[in-house]
């Protein structure tokens, strides 16, 4: 009887150890996947910034185009619209 109880406790110990190692492994894989995802997004952001800086033509951004359009007098902007409407 005591031998059976001892044997059951040993098997339960192995089971608990296996469950603990499985939980640690799953947690480690989840952290690794999150780290790879974060690195990938940072790499894409860096590549986008480098590509934008290398390929950028002065005055090509939307803000700069809007600024240039704002400098044009209102009368000439409205004349252009009237010509297009005709």
Task: Identify whether the C-beta of residue 72 lies closer than 8 Å to the C-beta of residue 81.
Answer: no
Number of domains in the chain: 1
Residue 61 Ramachandran class (φ > 0 left, ψ -120 to 50 alpha, else beta): beta
Q: Who wins on pLDDT, 70 or 17?
A: 17
Dig out the tokens for 30 from the structure.
């989840």
Residues of the chain with pLDDT > 90, as a percent, come to 44
17 secondary structure, DSSP code: H
Task: Identify whether the C-beta of residue 59 lies closer than 8 Å to the C-beta of residue 65.
Answer: yes
> Looking at residues 76-81, what average pLDDT do you find?
54
| Domain span holding position 61 | 2-85
Indicate if the pLDDT at residue 54 is higher than 80. Answer: no
Helix boundaries (H) for 56-86: 62-71, 74-85
Please state the pTM of the whole predicted model: 0.47
């Amino acid at each position: 009887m005591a031998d059976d109880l001892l044997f059951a406790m040993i098997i339960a110990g192995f089971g608990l150890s296996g469950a603990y190692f499985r939980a640690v492994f799953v947690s480690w894989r989840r952290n690794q996947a999150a780290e790879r995802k974060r690195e990938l997004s940072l790499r894409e952001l860096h590549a986008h910034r480098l590509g934008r800086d290398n390929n950028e033509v002065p005055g090509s951004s939307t803000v700069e185009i809007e600024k240039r359009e704002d400098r044009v007098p209102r009368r000439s902007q409205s004349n252009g619209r009237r010509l297009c409407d005709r």
